[in-house]
Amino acid sequence: MIQLEVIDRILYQVHPLERRNAKESHCLTCVSTLAQTNASPFLFHVTDRDILAEHLADKRSENTRRAYARDVKDFFVTVANQEPTPTLIGQFLSLERAAAISLVLKYKAILIERNLSEATVNRRLSALKSLVAFAQKVDRCQWSLEQVESEKVQSYRDTSGISLEAYRKLLSVPNRNTLAGRRNYAILRLLWENALRRNEISQTNVGDLDIEARTLQIFGKGKGTQAESISLSTATTEAIVDWVLARDPVPAPNAPLFVALDRAHYGHRLSGNAIYNLVVETATSAGITKHLSPHRCRHSAITAALNATNGNVREVQKLSRHARLETLMIYDDNRANAQGKVTNLLADLL
């Protein structure tokens, strides 16, 4: 049974000068009545249609489904002290608009009190907004959460990554006489030359590699099941082939292109987290002090490409595969450091 006092605390324990408009007073009366009758705080009886499961099934990415499920769970555990069920979610979606928005705003305040980052707060609110929007589409909810504003976040604050010289150090670490070294070297080249995301590398199969054409089929971010072909350099193609041929037995076309080599997971697809750990460990061995991750490798590659092309953002967009050119403009502005140049000009005037 939902803890009524938890709902009551979140919805109604606000400063005396701020509390209660007429609708909140009405809702408090409803909750008090429900407490006496041992009923649900979510006011209305609904069928047990699993709206959350239907919503998650509408998402192609397994990572997205997992993240949304986790964030929706946090909301219900926080406000109702129990994990979401079809009945509980249905009751939430049946709340009156004012009560629902008030509840979500109190949840947002709790997230901020936990000192969570703006990005984390926004992600959790986004998962909830997405659930409500889906429920509206299937006529299971009559209101939206558009009035619940997200926190302001400055995206791509640091896009510098590491220098070309530092990345050369990184590439010198893997021992290419070993199986792990061949695998790691090929992955590091893909992160640099093609600015791939770790999950894009993780999801590739042996059959996605076309040696003769020097291309690799990848499933880009937000592309669903639509594969796109990227061109590889001769050196990276040779590094991947060197790794594949060293595996025993030589893998079939439908086998993962990159696999784990530790005892517990030997032969299983190399996960995005494993690629992350691979980069961190290699950076430590290379003596790189700046925190490095696969995405910072991507930053490094994109910044180097902008330097090499004298800021040709349209050309570099073919490498980065950003949907919006404005995102690349942030990289270019950070690279050029216009603010630093103007600051120096002002300093020279003194």
87 Cβ contact list (under 8 Å, min separation 6): 40, 46, 48
Q: Longest C-alpha distance within the chain, in Å?
A: 76
**Cα distance between residue 267 and residue 256, in whole Å:** 9
Alpha-carbon distances, residue 247 vs 172, 217, 241, 343, 345 (angstroms): 22, 21, 10, 55, 58
Q: End-to-end CA distance of the chain: give it in Å, rounded.
A: 70
- Residue 25, classed as helix, strand or coil, is helix
73 is catalytic: no
**Of 182, 198, 298, 299, which residue is the catalytic one?**
298
What's the full length of the chain, in residues?
350
- Residue 217 has φ and ψ, to the nearest 5°, of -85, 125
268 is catalytic: no
309 Cβ contact list (under 8 Å, min separation 6): 315, 316
Alpha-carbon distances, residue 119 vs 65, 116, 126, 227, 273 (angstroms): 18, 8, 10, 29, 20
**Of 49, 223, 247, 269, which residue is the catalytic one?**
223
295 is catalytic: yes
185 is catalytic: no
Structure tokens at 288: 């790189």
HSE-up (13 A, CA, CB side) for residue 51: 27
- Residue 194, classed as helix, strand or coil, is coil
331 is catalytic: yes
Nearest CA to 170 among 280, 300, 286?
286
Supply the DSSP symbol for 151.
P
- Asked if 94 and 42 count as a contact pair (C-beta separation under 8 A), the reply is yes
- Asked if 71 and 120 count as a contact pair (C-beta separation under 8 A), the reply is no
**Of 55, 140, 197, 198, which residue is the catalytic one?**
197
- Asked if 191 and 279 count as a contact pair (C-beta separation under 8 A), the reply is yes
314 is catalytic: no
Positions annotated as catalytic residues are 197, 223, 295, 298, 322, 331
